[in-house]
Homo-oligomer: A and B are copies of this chain.
Amino acid sequence: MTQLRFALAQIDTCVGDLEGNASTVLRYARMAALKGARVVVFPEMTLTGYPIEDLALRATFRKAAADKANELAQALKKEGLGELYVVVGTVGTSSATDVDGKPTNRLVVLHSGSVSSTYDKHFLPNYGVFDEFRIFEAGERSVVLDIDGVKIGVAICEDIWQDGGPVAQLAGQGIDVLLTINGSPYEEGKTHTRFDLAKRRALEVNAPVIYLNQVGGQDDLVFDGGSFVVDSDGTLIERSPMFVEDLSYFDFDPDMEHQTVGSVADRRDPDEEIYTACVLGLKDYMTKNHFGGVVLGLSGGIDSALVAAMAADAVGGENVQGVSMPSMYSSDGSKDDAAELAENIGAHYDIQPIEPLFQAFQSQLGLDGIAAENLQARIRGVIVMAYSNSKKLLALATGNKSELACGYSTIYGDAVGGYAPIKDLLKTRVWELSRWRNKAAAEGIGVGGLCIVGNEGGKAGTPLTNGVMIPISSIEKSPSAELRPGQKDSDSLPEYELLDKVLAAYIEKAHGRASLLRDGFDEETVNTVIRLVDGAEWKRRQYPLGPKVTSLAFGRDRRLPITSAFTD
């Protein structure tokens, strides 16, 4: 048994893009070979992208994926990389004949020009955002690779989250390394859960654990990367950055002493992490759907300001089109704040007053009350979509989780857009992130490179601006939809500090009415929030896709991935 260099290729794949994903594998394999790697490890379902959802059920897609794996093995050999062991994920099939079998979630090794050492995922998650039991058949046997005498047990994602199964089987086999490839989506606080889990498995198999995770946004999920290695006693000895593609190395040495890695930061700023996750989600949604720029309404309020800042961090302010659409109820302060924000981030900025349009509709329709308020929001929606259509820009919806949960938004109005960057952020979090972004701007911390958190490699981007990014008055003023004179959000909703606490308990923890009262919330507030949330279900379902970042408790909205690039 000799030393063995593993390369941890933490890459950003695209669902359905077999060609593009294979070409990324080839590129990283080349780099890894130059650095003397013997084994290059890629994330779960590398070739197909993940989560693949019902695309796996198309036999023609499975056939194309199988062909691509063989082709890639040949291409590696042709480039003189045949001696590398390239570990990739793909879709398999439970039967020998592609068409009849049920799909499997598969790990294969590309070596010497061919595809070998097939392992099929055993535990298929089917909760929260996961639907794997729907689409995959479970594998039943564990697999140990022997590379230069080093015995490597393999596992795919959920396999290490459940007791029993393949890891339990491997525990008795005296393996030297446990290698797990993952598509583990970002969720607040998940990093340390993963460390704890890997430590437990390392102790179980008495070997180091390599945890390789994918990175990047895919529809409404964001994968944070943050791959790592723990020693056989669970000590963290290697760590890749979060939110960026990365190639790190782990030198397995049977005689090595336990090491600790100096650069592991134990205390991370959750605001920084979540902000970065939102930016990456947006950036990848644009890339994978071939959008070069965005358009959004800038009201002067905090939601649109934060979304605009995220967009500028994702694709540069010059690719952001802000549109101010003041009505007769818009305050001068709001108009000034919108203009200031646009200037701070370097966005294109147009003013499209809606009053003449509103009057034109009203002369025909004569609406009042809520209908007249919604009319204003819908005129703005039409304008945003006109920019989107004529300039090929992705329209961004700016709604936050608190208002969406309560139905405090206009369907086909402010809800218009193809992507909603802050749909999973409660309003109080929107304020926190805005303050954090200003602090980052003042301190010269950049997010353009997306590598703030865990940036041991020193790859932090450069700040877009110095000083204040989001106007202070946008952060500090009382929230208002400005759809009638003197309107405040607090006319219709509990104060956000209280509302957000109730929403977190009711939605994310699924506390019922009795539990909420036991939580100490007053009865009137509880009744109001339950009525609003339950009543808003329909409206909420019509909302654009956006990144899940604070809770993965609920399922995905859609069954075929939106950013699938597969055409068969």
Contact = CB atoms under 8 A, between A and B. Distances in A.
Contacts of A379: 382
Name A's interface SS.
Answer: helix
Contact of A361 (B54, B60, B386, B530): B386
Contacts of A352: 364-365
Interface stretch (A257-265, A467-475, A536-544): A536-544
Contacts of A562: 537-538, 541
Given A390-B367, A412-B412, A537-B564, A555 B60 contact: no
Interface in A370-398: 370-371, 374-375, 378-379, 381-383, 385-386, 389-390
Contact of A385 (B63, B389, B412, B537): B412
B389 A370 contact: yes
A552 to B, nearest CB: 13
A9 to B, nearest CB: 29
A149 to B, nearest CB: 42
A513 B568 contact: yes
Contacts of A381: 378, 412
A60 B513 contact: yes
Contacts of A560: 537
A210 to B, nearest CB: 31
A374 B361 contact: no
A545 B538 CA distance: 10
A542 B541 contact: no
Contact of A357 (B364, B542, B567): B364
A133 interface: yes
Nearest to A57: B510
B557 A289 contact: no
A557 B562 CA distance: 13
Interface string A530-568: 110010011001101100000000110111101010111
A195 to B, nearest CB: 28
Interface in A491-546: 510-515, 530-531, 534, 537-538, 541-542, 544-545
Given A127-B134, A364-B352, A382-B375, A418 B530 contact: no
Contacts of A367: 386, 389-390
Interface in A327-369: 352, 356-357, 360-361, 364-365, 367-369
Contact of A512 (B60, B378, B514, B537): B60
Contacts of A126: 126, 133-134
Given A513-B60, A534-B567, A568-B512, A385 B390 contact: no
A59 interface: yes
Interface in A223-248: none
A378 B374 contact: no
Contact of A382 (B61, B382, B542, B564): B382
A190 interface: no
A54 B367 CA distance: 38
Contacts of A416: 412
Nearest to A369: B390
A289 B538 contact: yes
A353 B135 CA distance: 49
Given A534-B567, A538-B562, A568-B530, A60 B127 contact: no
A101 to B, nearest CB: 15
A409 to B, nearest CB: 13
Nearest to A561: B537
A559 B559 CA distance: 11
Interface in A261-301: 289
Nearest to A411: B385
A459 interface: no
Contacts of A187: none
A58 interface: yes
A188 interface: no
Given A134-B133, A360-B357, A554-B559, A58 B512 contact: yes
A19 to B, nearest CB: 15
A158 interface: no
Interface string A425-438: 00000000000000
23 contacts: A54-B554, A54-B555, A57-B510, A59-B512, A60-B512, A60-B515, A127-B134, A361-B382, A361-B383, A365-B386, A365-B390, A367-B389, A368-B390, A371-B389, A530-B567, A534-B564, A537-B564, A541-B545, A542-B542, A554-B559, A557-B557, A557-B558, A557-B559
3 closest A-B pairs by beta carbon, nearest first, are A60-B512, A371-B389, A371-B390
Given A54-B555, A382-B382, A542-B544, 9 more contacts: A59-B512, A131-B134, A360-B360, A361-B383, A368-B390, A385-B412, A513-B567, A538-B562, A541-B558
